[in-house]
Amino acid sequence: MKKLCTLVFVLLGLMGFSQEQDIFDNAIGLRFGGAGEGAGGEISYQKSLENNNRLEIDLGLTNKFINFKATGLYQWVWTLEERFNWYAGAGGGLVSAGGTGIYAAGVIGIEYNFKVPILLSIDYRPEIGVAGGLNGLESDIALSVKYQF
């Protein structure tokens, strides 16, 4: 089993060396953060669009894993240094806190593309309730780890 795990990590690493681009076409992973009454986690997917822009969709649980949350964000990505980017974006989503609610969200963050196809990022996401569910402004700071392909 150890040999199989080692082989998988080596193959994933070699795939990362063969692709030289700022933004991979796709990335999927986990986003760990907290907002409001407790911590939660999200499954996060990013799809590259043209001109260093991308769409991020996050599905997860919040408020100590009680409420469902879905977020969609359009992001602009800028290079700081080789493999080191910052990004900002806007979007919105749905939440099940206290009934179904709609919210608007923004995001600003920083990310590092490792030589293997792993993306590590930390971001700040302010969210404001538009209808139901969320009341007022909530802030969400999260750490994300994604596999890029």
Please state, in angstroms and rounded to a whole number, the distance separating the CA atoms of residues 87 and 1: 39
pLDDT tens string 84-143: 999 999 999 998 876 788 999 999 999 999 999 999 999 999 999 888 766 788 888 999
Which carries the bigger pLDDT value, residue 9 or residue 42?
A: 42
Q: Return phi, psi of residue 32, to 5°.
A: -110, 120
What is the SS3 assignment for 25?
Answer: coil
Q: Are 125 and 107 in contact (CB under 8 A)?
A: yes
pTM for the full model?
A: 0.78
